[in-house]
Amino acid sequence: MHHTAYRCRDAEQTRWFYEDVLGFKLAAAMVFDEEPGAAKKREYMHLFFQTTDGNFIAFFDVPDDVEEKMFIARHGFDQHIAFEVDSLEQLKAWRRHINKMGRPCFGPIDHGFVHSIYMYDPNGVQVELTLKDKNYDAILAEDSAKAHDVLKEWTERTRAQKLERLQADMLDQRGIDMSKADFSKVKQEGAQS
């Protein structure tokens, strides 16, 4: 992965969280005046923060296309990003530091294969700091050996439940046919969040 990108409410507020709170390096703050691929005039800033593994988390600050409803905190199942730490002591120290900086932070939570703390950034993105369990490699190796069987059983067991909520053709498709995508419904549901 090179980077993952999100929209932000405000570039400086986002810089504060990722640089001052989490300690990531502000690697770039670039201003553009045209939306990429659209030949449309639109001024925006693209921020990049370098993470401890050398990859980046990036943000777009687009002042003429921003609304509060875009920044409603989403459930961690819907969207979150995780960064790895080296020890349980470090994980607990991060929790104290983040709380001291005025951001609510909860955990550590033992997920079996990792231990994690969670908080939200100013843009509603859930951020996880995670520590691999001492048995991490063995746990994942065991899971890997049966992953396809577990996935098949899960798919069969949950299909009827999903069909009550989702369109069968969308559930079954493997290619991306943009002509069938109903973005008006997505936008409408997103606005209700």
**CATH assignment of the domain containing 56:** 3.10.180.10
- Rounded (5°) CA angle 120-121-125: 70
Q: Are 183 and 191 in contact (CB under 8 A)?
A: no
Q: Are residues 94 and 63 in the same domain?
A: no
Task: Encode pLDDT of 75-111 as tens digits.
Answer: 888 889 999 999 999 999 999 999 999 999 999 999 9
Residue 185 in any domain: the answer is no
User: What is the number of helices (H) and of strands (E) in the chain?
Assistant: 5, 8
Q: Are 17 and 121 in contact (CB under 8 A)?
A: yes
User: For residue 141, what are the domain limits?
Assistant: 136-176
Q: Are residues 48 and 113 in the same domain?
A: no
Q: Are residues 56 and 91 in the same domain?
A: no
Count of structural domains within the chain: 3
User: Per DSSP, which regions of 62-168 are E strands?
Assistant: 80-84, 105-110, 114-120, 126-132
Residue 168 in any domain: the answer is yes
Please check the confidence at residue 166 and state whether its pLDDT lies above 90. no
Site of tokens 């800033």:
45
Give pLDDT, residue 14: 96
Distance from chain centroid for Cα 151: 23
